[in-house]
A = this chain, B = another copy of it.
Amino acid sequence: MQEVSHEYFMREALKEAQRAFEMDEVPIGAVVVKDGRVIARAHNMREITQDATAHAEVLAIRQACEAVGLWRLIGCSLYVTLEPCPMCAGAIILARLDRVVFGAWDPKAGAAGSVVDLFGVERFNHHPEVVPGVLAEECSSLLKEFFRKKRL
């Protein structure tokens, strides 16, 4: 049941990634879920905004903070199609998210174990539950297709 629910929300994140793809942005999407409901959804917007911080996770977290009216996202889970980078992993810790569920691993910049593991650093004051690899194939395929088309 838990697994079904993770896949359901990862599909919502994938819809956001697909929107990014259509806008010629690197296709990464994220949603924030509270009490079984999506309260924020966003995708990477770095190129269109020319804002280095406009990653899907940061945009979704900002939107979720606005939705609940608090900077602490207690009781919330973040679903994202790619392993978070250090900036986004840091934002997840700062926002006190209960859980982060991600799709594909990112061997180049992943901060949930691939390059560094920020969620596992004991000295930080918050440690979300981490669920990796949900719909990893689909999340990864979308990224591969994007970069393949870019090279054509």
Contacts of A118 in B (CB 8 A): 86, 116
> How many residues in A have their beta carbons less than 8 Å from beta carbons of B?
40
Which one of A6-14, A34-42, A60-68, A135-143 is at the interface? A60-68
Q: What is the CB-to-nearest-CB distance from A99 to chain B, in angstroms, rounded to a whole number?
A: 15
A90 lies within 8 A of chain B by Cβ: yes
Q: Is A124 an interface residue (CB 8 A)?
A: yes
Contacts of A66 in B (CB 8 A): 50-51
- C-alpha spacing A87/B93, complex, angstroms: 9
- Given A86-B90, A94-B87, also A116-B121 (CB < 8 A): yes
Interface set of A (CB-CB < 8 Å, partner B): 46-47, 49-55, 58, 61-62, 65-66, 69-73, 85-91, 93-96, 108-109, 111, 115-116, 118, 121, 123-125
